[in-house]
Amino acid sequence: MSDEVLVDARGHHCPVPTLRLRKALEQAPDGARVRLLADDPMARIDVPHFAKQAGFEILESGEAAGALSFLVVKPS
C-alpha cells in the first residue's frame, strides 16, 4: 500500500498528537501507513513509546521545517 493517511497535529500539545495518531491507526485498514506531523517536542518521546506499546512499527522519523514527522505502519 503506497498511500499514506496524513495526521497533521501541528499546533497541538501532547498527548493530542499521539491520540490523533492512535485514532487514525485504529480506523485504518491493516497494512496502512499513517504519517503524523507534530511540532510539540514531547512527540519525540510519546510517539515511539506509544508505537512500541501498541505494536505498531515506525518506518521513518525525522524533522523538517520545524515539524516532527513519523511514518507508522499498522500491521497486517
Q: What is the CATH number of the domain that holds 52?
A: 3.30.110.40
Domain that holds residue 47: 4-73
What mean pLDDT do residues 40-66 have?
A: 96
Instruction: Write down the number of H helices and E strands in the chain.
Output: 2, 4
Q: Quote the number of domains for the chain.
A: 1
Active site annotation includes 69:
no
pTM flag (> 0.75):
yes
Among residues 14, 16, 19, 42, which one is catalytic?
A: 14
Q: Which residues of 8-21 are buried (b: 16+ CB within 10 A; e: fewer)?
A: ebeebebeebbebb
**Do residues 72 and 36 lie in contact, with contact meaning Cβ atoms separated by under 8 Å?**
yes
Write out pLDDT tens, residues 19-39: 999 999 999 999 999 999 999
What mean pLDDT do residues 37-43 have?
A: 97
In the block, residue with C-alpha cell 500539545:
13
Q: How confident is the model at residue 3 (pLDDT cuts 50, 70, 90)?
A: confident
Q: How confident is the model at residue 2 (pLDDT cuts 50, 70, 90)?
A: low
